[in-house]
Structure 1
Amino acid sequence: MPDAFAPARLGPVTLPNRIIKSATFEGVTPDALVTDALIDFHRAPARGGVGMTTVAYLAVSPEGRTHRRQIWLRPEAVPGLRRLTDAVHAEGVAVAAQIGHAGPVANAASNRAAALAPATALSPLGFRMTRAATKADLDRVVEAHANAARLAVAAGFDAVEIHCGHNYLVSAFLSPRLNHRDDDHGGPLANRARLALAVTRAVRDAVGDRIAITAKLNMDDGVRGGLRVEESLQVAAWLERDGTVDALELTAGSSLLNPMYLFTGDAPVREFAAAFPPPLRWGLRLTGHRFLQHYPFREAYLLDHARRFRRELTLPLILLGGITRRDTIDTAMAEGFAFVAMARALLREPDLPRRLATTPGTPSLCTHCNKCMPTIYNRTHCVLTE
């Protein structure tokens, strides 16, 4: 069994350990550029013992943001991102850039641009119609991913994580529920996976082995008619065949239709409602439980699905989902996972990895209340530490 707290290779990069701070939107970029608060956000887990921290979410184009306050990768953003990577590297830790296109998860009203999707539909985010992506749109999005990866290299990142989950654009094309196209990007899985395979190939061709490349892939959308494990396994096998990614981070759920399937634990409906102005606030209070469903928290709640991927693939896998204990990390290592990813627990205790390394029985203080989730609109943090 590999030691989770010893150095490990991720593609061409050596990480100081196998603990990754997964992408958690930070909510501290009001001008869509790096701030001191964003740097501090990532310096904290770097000092706290992770092997790599992931900056989220860096859109590949303006309309690919979920909200206009998010950074989109462009030359103007590179100097600030270089300050961030330098600060993380000074702590002896690697840093990844999560890149992607939000697709139907984008707030068109905020972005002042139509949200791209496989097909036209009313989006609950901004209450506007999405626009069915044309072939020219998809070609542009593929090239935008390649360009974003080049800029990530220029900014000093050690890795890029391509967002292929949560019904963002690539994930939406994979979803039978959201993708009703009758062209060569719709119908059979091989067609629905074209965008995912084209994006990952474009990124690999753009950066080669200069940095590590990972992809965040949904195992299960968690919605009726969505992507399920069997089809996701096939997509993962195609990614392994193509050699375009160095590892897969396995995730689940839909930011558009069922976000709590990813998070599990308490559903903070009232707190989410309070983050929005009326009348949306009132609507969320009345109907929010339909959108924010309740799934009881359990440690490593995505492990059962992830085991199927581990059995069928040789590609390095990153286990995500409710990892807060040393024995869980050791189980992941024993079962062949290359890395584990943590997020919410690090909001309350950025130094949890360091303490788990030195005192294995250390309990996490995270209560899985999920009240950190609505804080993404101003400054992502654990409300219990206020």
Structure 2
Amino acid sequence: MTIFPKLFSPFKIGSLAIKNRMVMSPMETHLCDKEGFVTEEIIAYYKERILGGVGYITLENTAVEPAGRVNDGMLCIHNDKFIPGLKRLTDSLHTIDGKIVIQLSHAGKEALPYFTNLEPVAPSAIPSPLTKQMPRELSAAEVRSMVNTFAEAAARAVKAGFDGVEIHMAHGYLVNQFLSPESNIRTDDYGGDTHRRSRFAKEIVKSIRKCVPGDYPIICRISADEYTDTGLKLEESKEIAKVLERAGASAIHVSACNYASAFYNIPCYYLEEGCFIHLAESIKSVVKIPVLAVGRIIDPAMAENTLQENKADLIVFGRTLIADPHLPNKVREGQMADIRTCLSCNRCIESISDKRLVCTVNPYLGKEGVSHLQKTARPKKILVVGGGPAGLSAAHLLSTRGHDVTLWEKESQLGGSFRYASMAPKKDPMRKFLDYLINQVKKTDTAVHLNREATEMSIKQFAADAVVLAHGASNIPVEINGTKNNGVLNVKQAFSTAHSLGNTIAIVGGGPEGCELADFLASQGKKITLIEMRRVLGLELVAHPRYHIGERLKKMGAQLHLNTKVTEVGQNYIIISRRRESDQKLEGFDTIIIPTLHQPNNTLAASLQGSVQEVYTIGDAVGGRTALEAVAEGVEIGMKL
């Protein structure tokens, strides 16, 4: 018997019968072609998630008309010519007993005119909070026509074989813009009080209901709270949910936020797990139709409790299924240690603007049709030097593929610099991912040796067929007058000796390392001064965590000096310089910390040339790497050899 009985119990939404209560959230992939047609890559991507055991998939937001596309990575269903490709997708999933619902979407004023070559439209002429573009207000006749546009898209969805439709009424897109008092100031029948602002959404549901089979699922995704001063609040959204239920909605998918509150919309690791469950619970209290909960739900126990406590009927998993498409099967089979943990780092969200979905922990993303675990025909004796994310990823895959792998790590623990990054507050997912990498290596025949530093001599004596150098960057101290003789620490030393640093601390360098160390120390009650030469803290972080760590430091009283240069360091003081201002002396510090520069570490590789047949350098040893790049390079070399 499964330890999560409710989560793995069957359920129905109208005619949609599913084997468990786990739903995949609609998330853009950029795996379609530029015209919005289905590709083989996108079919393979969703097929992998069905094979992974999810109850049903919600296909990413799909445009109901050209003016509603956000970018050229958005699927389309505004013309019959898209039906054959979509039918290939649904047929492929149905042959493996999969279920798939399509999300119908129009971006409204959030559509980008430089991409669509069309004027953005909205209920009212109020600029987008993100793009600042001024949309054109739709006439009443155009609103009624838009209702038909959604209905026609739903009819195409039926022809394409989808098991249901979800109408995107959330996140600041067109239907949400009509629902919200923040973006709808119309004075006709489509604006005003709650019921008039709900009219557009209600008419869409009714119109779709007329052109689909009687019990065909129509799911409405709403932002129950927009988390802005003048936007939708929960009490009004409860009334909207009742309107949608009376109109013929089959279920309500409860999300939150709009573009103005985007830093909360896709909750990163600084926000609590399950942060929107309370919204689903409140909506469920006023409707009889099923309710779906979403919002950084990572822990299966939290999902089970949400169902057991009747706060929702289904649980929507998003980035967790990007990170590990087989999470449902692993949970069902009790293989919790084998789950590739989502970091909630939002690299996936950032990557959409770069035209390709990527994931820090899942380097196989978008390559689902490629067999990466194929056994090697020529097993080799391979030495991996370094037990950080790059080295661990390489060692695991190389050993899994049949090579004889040995890993040397100079420290007493595996993890490399990632271990220190995971010590900062709210970094539990990173610690879990590091545990996952270590556990995966332990499950192989890899021989792991700790406290073993690699030298030219020891590597040559080992006589490997191939050597993979993942031994980290060359950490170069920043050259500032006075740093050599005044007990300045680096980030690694500071994390390791936090108890003895004193109470008043200066950190010179507000990149990701400096910010996370400041957060770590400030959370212990220490008084922090953080100095950064650039105008923005944590510039290399994704926008969501960058915003939240700045807010956290401010709330804890950290003194933040941006656009500021440190010109001198003394025993307990620093001198800072700003343009057009006199130099200033800040003093009274118990400890001064300066992050090192991460430079390529190629000395060892150069010494092995000519004596070792194959030498490969990956991760920080090549240069400063993000965890995403380190893991990906480890897997890449694992597939290559």
Please give the TM-score of this superposition, normalised by the length of structure 2: 0.54
Q: 1:204 is matched with which residue? A: 209
Q: Structure 1's 309 and 364: CA in aligned 2 closer, same or farther, altered over 3 A?
A: farther
The residue type paired with residue 39 of structure 1 is I
- Bigger relative contact order, structure 1 or 2 (CA pairs below 8 A, ≥6 apart): 1
What's the counterpart of residue 277 of structure 1?
none
The secondary structure found in structure 1 opposite 2:265 is helix
Per-residue deviation at 1:369? 0.8
- Deviation track 1:322-365 (CA, whole Å, cap 9, x = no partner) reads 11122112112112222111010111100011111111755661
- Alignment partners' CA distance in 1, 2:294 and 2:131: 29
Q: Which residue of 2 aligns with 1:286?
A: none
Name stretches of at least 5 consecutive residues in structure 2 with no aligned partner: 363-631, 633-641
Aligned match of 1:83: 88
How far residue 177 of structure 1 moved from its aligned partner, in angstroms, is: 1.0
Letter in 1 for 2:315: V
**Residues 313/127 of structure 1: CA separation in 2 closer, same or farther (3 Å cut):** closer
**Aligned counterparts of 1:258 and 1:91: Cα–Cα separation in 2:** 39
CA contact 1:214–1:248 (8 Å) conserved in 2: yes
Q: Residue 185 of structure 1 contacts residue 194 of structure 1 at CA under 8 Å; is this kept in 2?
A: yes
1:142 equivalenced with 2:147 (yes/no): yes
Counterpart among 8, 12, 26 of residue 11 in structure 2: 8
Matched residue, 2:169: 164
Residue 557 of structure 2 corresponds to none
Choose the corresponding residue for 2:344, options 349, 368, 378. Answer: 368
Q: Which residue of 2 aligns with 1:46?
A: 50
Cα distance per residue 1:144-200 (max 9 Å; x no partner): 111001000100100100111011111001111111112221111111111110111
C-alpha spacing 1:246/1:360, structure 2 compared with 1 (3 Å): farther
Counterpart Cα distance in 1 of 2:303 and 2:73: 35
Amino acid of the residue matched to residue 179 of structure 1? N
Partner Cα distance (2:201, 2:327) in 1:
34
Q: Across the two proteins, how many residue pairs are aligned to each other?
A: 355
After TM superposition, give the deviation of residue 44 of structure 1 in Å.
Answer: 1.5
Moved more, 111-120 or 143-152: 111-120
- After TM superposition, give the deviation of residue 207 of structure 1 in Å: 0.5
Are residue 326 (structure 1) and residue 300 (structure 2) matched? Answer: yes
Secondary structure at 2:285's aligned position in 1?
helix
Deviation at 1:78, TM superposition (A): 0.5
Q: Name the CA distance, whole Å, in 2 between partners of 1:123 and 1:79.
A: 34
Q: 2:6 aligns to what SS in structure 1? A: coil
- Give, as a single letter, the amino acid of the residue that structure 2 aligns with 1:350: P
Correspondence for 1:284: none
CA distance in 1 between partners of 2:130 and 2:144 (Å): 25
Q: 1:312 to 1:364 in 2, by over 3 A?
A: farther
Structural RMSD (CA): 1.7
**2:360 corresponding residue in structure 1:** 383
TM-superposed CA distance for 1:54, in Å, is 1.2
Structure 2 residue 143 is the aligned partner of structure 1 residue 173: no
Moved over 4 A (4+): 124-127, 360-364
The structure 2 residue matched to 1:252, chosen from 256, 261, 267, is 256
Alignment TM-score, normalising by the size of structure 1: 0.88
In the alignment, the residues of structure 1 paired with residue 193 and residue 110 of structure 2 have an alpha-carbon distance, to the nearest angstrom, of 23
2: CA distance between counterparts of 1:376 and 1:368?
Answer: 15
Task: Please state how far the C-alpha of 1:210 moved relative to its aligned partner.
Answer: 5.6
| Higher deviation after alignment, 107-116 or 67-76 | 67-76
For residues 20-49 of structure 1, what are the alpha-carbon distances to aligned partners after superposition, in whole Å with 9 as ceiling and x for unaligned?
A: 101001112222111111111211211111
Question: Tell me, what secondary structure is at the counterpart of 2:167?
Answer: strand
Distance of 2:50 and 2:158 partners within structure 1: 20
Aligned residue among 338, 355, 359 for 2:330: 355
Q: Name the structure 1 match of 2:136.
A: 131
CA distance in 2, matches of 1:94, 1:236: 25
C-alpha distance in structure 2 between counterparts of 1:92 and 1:130, whole Å: 43
Identity of aligned residues (%): 30
CA distance in 1, matches of 2:335, 2:6: 13
Q: CA deviation at 1:125?
A: 5.5
Give the counterpart letter for 1:231 in structure 2. Answer: E
Contact 2:109-2:134 within 8 A present in 1 as well:
no
Query: C-alpha separation between the residues in 1 aligned to 2:8 and 2:94?
Result: 18
Aligned counterpart, 1:215: 220
**Would the aligned equivalents of 1:110 and 1:126 in 2 still touch at CA under 8 Å?**
no
**How many angstroms apart in 2 are the aligned matches of 1:158 and 1:180?**
36
Relative to structure 1, the CA distance from residue 128 to residue 157 in structure 2 (aligned partners, 3 Å threshold; closer, same or farther) is: same
Task: Choose 1 or 2 for highest CA Rg.
Answer: 2
Deviation at 1:16, TM superposition (A): 1.8
Answer yes or no: is the 8 Å Cα contact 1:95–1:158 preserved in 2.
yes
- Establish whether residue 308 from structure 1 lines up as the match of residue 312 from structure 2: no
1:49-128 equivalences under 5 Å are 49-73=53-77, 74-123=79-128, 127-128=132-133
Matching residue's letter, 1:120? A
Alignment of 1:20-31 (within 5 A): 20-29=23-32, 30-31=34-35
Report the Cα offset of residue 2 of structure 1. 6.3
Larger displacement relative to structure 2 (344-353 or 321-330): 321-330
In 2, distance between residues paired with 1:304 and 1:124?
26
Inter-partner Cα distance in structure 1 for 2:331 and 2:164: 25
CA contact (8 A) 1:20 1:342 kept: yes
- 2:524 equivalent in structure 1: none
Partner Cα separation in structure 2 for residue 379 and residue 359 of structure 1: 32
SS in 1 for 2:253: strand
Do the aligned residues in 2 keep the contact of 1:326 with 1:361 (CA within 8 Å)?
A: no
**Residue of structure 2 aligned with 1:19, choices 6, 18, 22:** 22
Contact persistence 1:324–1:345 (CA under 8 A)? yes
Higher mean Cα deviation, 340-349 or 85-94? Answer: 85-94
1:239 has 2:244 as partner: yes
Instruction: Work out whether residues 348 and 359 of structure 2, in 8 Å CA contact, stay in contact via their aligned partners in 1.
Output: yes
2-side partners of 1:323 and 1:128: how far apart? 34
CA distance in 1, matches of 2:71, 2:239: 32
Q: Secondary structure at the match of 1:80?
A: helix
Residues 355 and 156 (structure 1 numbering): CA distance in 2 closer, same or farther, change over 3 Å?
same
Aligned residue number for residue 298 of structure 1: 272
Question: Any conservation in 1 of the 2:61–2:168 contact (CA below 8 Å)?
Answer: no
Distance change in 2, residues 1:2/1:209 (3 Å): farther
The whole-number CA distance in structure 1 between the counterparts of 2:271 and 2:143 is 37
